[in-house]
Every structure is written in structure tokens, then in C-alpha cells.
Amino acid sequence: MSDTRPVVRLRPKAEARAIRHGFPWVYADELVVDRRTKAIAPGTIAVLEDGERRPLGTVTVNPNSKIIARMMDRDPEAQIDRAWIAARLERALALRARLFEQPFYRLVHAEADGLPGVIIDRFGDAAVIQPNAAWSDVMLADLEAALVEVTGVSIVLKNGSGRARTLEGLPEETTLLRGTLDAPIQVPMNGATYMADLLGGQKTGLFYDQRPNHAFAARLAHGARVLDVFSHVGGFGLAALAAGAESALAVDGSAPALALAEQGAAAMGASERFTTRQGDAFDTLEALSGEGAQFDLVICDPPAFAPAKPALQAGLRAYDRIARMAAPLVAPGGYLVLCSCSHAADLQAFRSACTRGIGKAARSGQLLHTGYAGPDHPMQPQLAESGYLKALFYRLDG
């Protein structure tokens, strides 16, 4: 099998040990990139060799990406076809079926589930594929067919948007591949009801990764006045209402996202306790402070302020600022939840920025809990980037 495929080779001084020990990526400066390698079509399956021409495994190659090769299979003879994809999907499904009673979860979390660069979120009878690596664009028909075969879903969408595809040199495209969809899908989670717009919403329409953090926040929410900043479709706020919060105010810059949050609250019978406020989060926090507003539970779940290392320092300043502006809105003895989905900001740097911001607001307190993404977002242990989500739960003094 391998003799019909292109062969790509690590540079003589490149460290093959990391690859042998499970690291799944080869960067462009680690590979011999000659005219032949540059001519390989993005998404091509190849054999990776070390500097001494010993095979390391089967990879997919994209000369247009800084991640020029991604490990597909440790077997250099592996046949990457629909059956191979189906086997990976079956393994991923077995884990989710054990974890969740209902079919609403992230089914595939890229490298951690053995499908490099591929995200698949499931919404009952519908699934959204994010093919963020070139091979998955090339093999999209096989990926879709295997997905239907393994899960039985009848609606499949391709969400080809976002920074990851741009870095791969792939075009943006969101389209319905199979079935029909003319309305948002109701998603039950943590006792709340969310409305997911699979065609027009952010990413795949809903963020499953925060599920355990929504649940922990809900434990603090009974009888509380809740402020959910960067709320998207109501993630923390609706979970808090399901747990008996007195009220929840959702703040977001997106009117469509807030409209979906309102629909979710209505589906739960919680509309009378739910309000929204559209606008820039920083401006809204400043305005609420000027109004003398106080809440028992404040959550800030912003988009990635530090998506890559060049943005790290600016991102940490933004996390410091959000903590400094949110802390004064927390009533004495209340709770502040600060989240980061930035790959570049590790937990220690993020925690330091948040604690510093709280201190600048002349507040102090306890760090109660640190949360991460749910188990349907497993980590690839050798790939730190797969453990991106952090949530810090503080109880603030007077």
C-alpha cells in the first residue's frame, strides 16, 4: 500500500521522538520541503519517515499549512477510506453513548478522537461537520456517509467557517449536505432548553464544551440574580434559571443569539425571569456599574482573547480588564465566574490575570473551583492545544 503513496521525510535534525511518543503534528520547518513535496495536493495521504528513512506512520499532507502533516494512523500501511473513518466514528460514539442519555454532544473532537482537524457536533437527528483540515474537505463525502452509517442521523451540515480553515488555506462555506432544516433545534442540557441555529449560528450553533461549567454555576444559582455576559444563546443564564435563579440578564453583541436565548427561555417557561441586553460587553459592564447594579452570580465567557501566541499579552490584559469590570457588580458573598477558550493562555497565566483584575477592583475572595471542557471534548494528552477551556469560580468577599 505505502509504495503507491507519496513519502515525506523529517529533516535530519528534526525530533522524531515526539512523533513516536504520540505528538500528532509535523510543522513545515521540521519536514524536508522540496519541489516534490510542495507539489503534493492538500489533503493527500502519505507515508511519514524519519530522517533515517524509517516509517513513522500514515499522515495527511497540506503544503499550504504550517501544520504540514497530521498523523492519521501509526500504521504506515493503513488504508484511509470510508471504513477507516467509520471505525473511528464508532469508537467516538461508544464513549458518548456511555456518557450521555440523549444524543446531544460533541461526537468528534479532532485529534483526540483520531480524526485530525475534524469537529462533529450532534443535535439529535442532525449533525454538523467542521472539516478544519484539508483531508476532511477532500474526503467529505466519505465522512458524511460514514457518519450517517454509524449514527443514523438524517440531517448533515458542513460548517466550513472559522480561523482553523483559514490557517489551512481552505475556503469558507456552510451548506446543508443531507436532509432539510428550516428552524433552530431544541437542545436539552442541564435541565434547560437551548435553541441551536445550525445554519446561521456561531460555529456549529451551540457550545457543548461548557456543559459541566454550566452545571457547576447552576449549583450556585438558586434564588440568585444572575448576569451572563457574552451569553451567546443563553448558556449559563438558562442553566441558572433551570436551577431556580430569581432572574437572569443575558448580555451579548449578537441580536440573533439573544433572540435564540429568549426562545429557549420561553420553551422553559422562564420568560418572566429572563431579560437580554444587546451591546458591547465592556460598555455594558461599565453601564451596569454606573447604574449601581448588583448580582449574586456574574459569569463572563468571552470569545478567545488570545487565540495564538502573538495575541497572548493583549489577551491577558483583556482578561484582567474583564475581571476588573465584572467584580464590582458581584454582591458581597456572591460569585464570579471567568472563562477562557484561548489556546495560547495557559491556566496559570489566565488565573493570574483574573486574580489581578479582581484585586484592581478592590475585591478579594476564594477560588472555589476550576472547570474544564466536558468529557465529550477529550484531550489528546500530547497536544496541549486540545485542552483549551478554563473556567474559574470565585466567591468574593464584601
How many Å apart are CA 290 and CA 186, to the nearest integer? 36
How many Å apart are CA 383 and CA 78, to the nearest integer? 22
Domain 185-396: CATH architecture, name and number where available: 3-Layer(aba) Sandwich (3.40)
Query: Is pLDDT above 50 for 272?
Result: yes
Q: How confident is the model at residue 192 (pLDDT cuts 50, 70, 90)?
A: very high
Phi and psi, residue 216, nearest 5°: -65, -40
Query: Is pLDDT above 80 for 202?
Result: no
CA count, 13 A, side-chain hemisphere, 355: 11
What's the rounded mean pLDDT across residues 361-386?
Answer: 93
How many Å apart are CA 68 and CA 58, to the nearest integer? 13
* Residues sharing a CB contact under 8 Å with residue 1, sequence separation 6 or more, in sequence order: 77, 78, 79
Q: Tens of pLDDT along 119-177?
A: 999 999 999 999 999 999 999 999 999 999 999 999 999 999 888 899 899 999 999 99
Nearest in space to 296 (alpha carbons), one of 359, 216, 217, 214:
217
Dihedral angle, C-alpha 341, 166, 137, 30, nearest 10 °? -90
Phi and psi, residue 98, nearest 5°: -75, -35
Domain layout of the chain by residue ranges: 2-73, 82-178, 185-396
Q: How confident is the model at residue 3 (pLDDT cuts 50, 70, 90)?
A: low
Nearest in space to 398 (alpha carbons), one of 322, 334, 323:
334
Question: What is 2-73's CATH topology?
Answer: 2.30.130
Q: Could you identify the residue written with the cell 440574580? A: 225
Return the exposure string of 226-248: e unless at least 16 CB atoms fall within 10 Å of the residue's CB, then b.
bbbbbbbbbbbbbbbbbbebebb
Specify the 3-state DSSP secondary structure of 167.
Answer: helix
What's the rounded mean pLDDT across residues 82-94?
Answer: 98
Nearest in space to 335 (alpha carbons), one of 368, 302, 360:
368
Task: Answer for the pair 294, 336: CB distance below 8 angstroms, yes or no.
Answer: no
How many Å apart are CA 124 and CA 105, to the nearest integer? 9
pLDDT, residue 203, reads 72
- Grid coordinates of 310: 502573538
Domain 82-178: give its CATH code: 3.30.750.80
Specify the 3-state DSSP secondary structure of 92.
Answer: helix
Query: Is pLDDT above 70 for 1?
Result: no
- Grid coordinates of 154: 438524517
Nearest in space to 376 (alpha carbons), one of 212, 235, 264, 249:
212
Task: Answer for the pair 268, 306: CB distance below 8 angstroms, yes or no.
Answer: no
- Grid coordinates of 232: 451567546
Q: How confident is the model at residue 13 (pLDDT cuts 50, 70, 90)?
A: confident
Strands 44-49, 7-9: parallel, antiparallel or unpaired by DSSP? parallel
- Grid coordinates of 371: 472547570
Which residues of the chain form beta strands (DSSP E)? Answer: 7-9, 25-27, 44-49, 55-61, 67-73, 104-109, 118-123, 126-131, 155-160, 173-178, 185-189, 192-196, 225-229, 247-252, 274-278, 295-300, 330-340, 365-371, 390-396
Task: Answer for the pair 56, 9: CB distance below 8 angstroms, yes or no.
Answer: no
The burial of 168, by beta-carbon neighbours within 10 Å (0-12 exposed, 13-18 middle, 19 or more buried), is given as buried
- Of 100 and 384, the structure prediction assigns the larger pLDDT to 100
Q: The pTM is what? A: 0.94
What's the rounded mean pLDDT across residues 61-76?
Answer: 96
Q: Could you identify the residue written with the cell 454606573? A: 290
- Give the residue numbers annotated as catalytic, written as ranges: 341
Query: Is pLDDT above 80 for 2?
Result: no
DSSP 254: -
Q: How many residues does the chain have?
A: 398
